[in-house]
Amino acid sequence: MNAYIFPGQGAQFSGMGLDLYENSSLAQELFEKANDILGFHITDIMFEGSAEDLKQTKVTQPAIFLHSVILAKTLGDTFKPDMVAGHSLGEFSALVANGTLNFEDGLKLVSQRAQAMQKACEAKPSTMAAVLGLEDSIVEDVCAHTEGIVVAANYNCPGQLVISGEVEAVEKACEALKAKGARRALILPVGGAFHSPLMQPAQAELAAAIENTHFSKPNCPIYQNVTASAVINEMEIKANLISQLTAPVRWTQSVQQMVADGALHFTEVGPGKVLQGLVKKIHNGAETASTTFN
């Protein structure tokens, strides 16, 4: 079975999507439509902007979504997923890819999500840190016993967990994790504490937008971050998407479940190859590939 997977924030690069724009009239049409929907020329920033320009959350999230979704659409009939999944933001790309959301609605939601998250980040100093070389249970235990808000946020692969929360609490947790034998506990250059209770204000804002958006019956299951299980019910998909902002990304568990359900081949659609690397670490026998534009 073919699983298609979609990357999240951090996969952006300068020049992303330019080859698509130059070589596909469909891609050109969708990029121009995106400029209109967003009210600014995101194509200029994607194609010519610096890494710094692309780092703004309100740009990064729509840019990665557009690269992934437009790439999938240019594949035409060769794009036949049996299942899909996306890492954090990538879940929105996956929902357009499996027909749950249309292109316009998906982009509007991603833009609203990015702006709501930006606001939440500015409201309170917060951060994330990557923890390498420890069992998940040890990381969870340290977070639970650290003063302040700090939680496990991204279960990326065995031995790689990202924690998220208030700056001071994350720093304290990093020290405690190093003392417990973590190979690394490294503060990440991110705008705030994604997938933590500090995203609650953004969640409330996004919930209203999601409730007012039409979701269709998907043409294949999506393995959602919150549950790490196959979902095809539209109402359930909506609820999980709302929970996703404050809940952890269970990527390790999602990939394990996809493999258990018959996934043999994982194709990453969008910028970068980060997810392929994680899939290999989660399941050594998995076949992985990038989508290339023809």
Q: What is the 3-state secondary structure (H, E, C) of the chain?
A: CEEEEECCCCCCCCCCCHHHHHHCHHHHHHHHHHHHHHCCCHHHHHHHCCHHHHCCHHHHHHHHHHHHHHHHHHCHHHCCCCEEEECCCHHHHHHHHCCCCCHHHHHHHHHHHHHHHHHHHHHCCEEEEEEECCCHHHHHHHHHCCCCCEEEEEEEECCEEEEEEEHHHHHHHHHHHHHCCCCEEEECCCCCCCCCHHHHHHHHHHHHHHHCCCCCCCCCCEECCCCCCEECCHHHHHHHHHHCCCCCECHHHHHHHHHHCCCCEEEECCCCCHHHHHHHHHCCCCEEEECCCC
Q: What are the 10-residue block averages of pLDDT along the chain, 294 residues in total?
A: 94 93 97 97 96 86 97 93 97 98 98 94 92 97 98 97 97 98 92 93 94 97 98 97 97 98 96 95 93 64
Q: What is the pLDDT at residue 292? A: 66
pLDDT at 27 (0 to 100): 97
Q: How confident is the model over 122-175, as pLDDT tens digits?
A: 888 899 999 999 999 999 999 999 999 999 999 999 999 999 999 999 999 999
Global pTM value: 0.95
Cite the active site residues: 88, 195
Domains and CATH numbers, the chain: 2-122+197-290 (3.40.366.10), 123-187 (3.30.70.250)
Q: What per-residue confidence (pLDDT) applies to 287?
A: 94
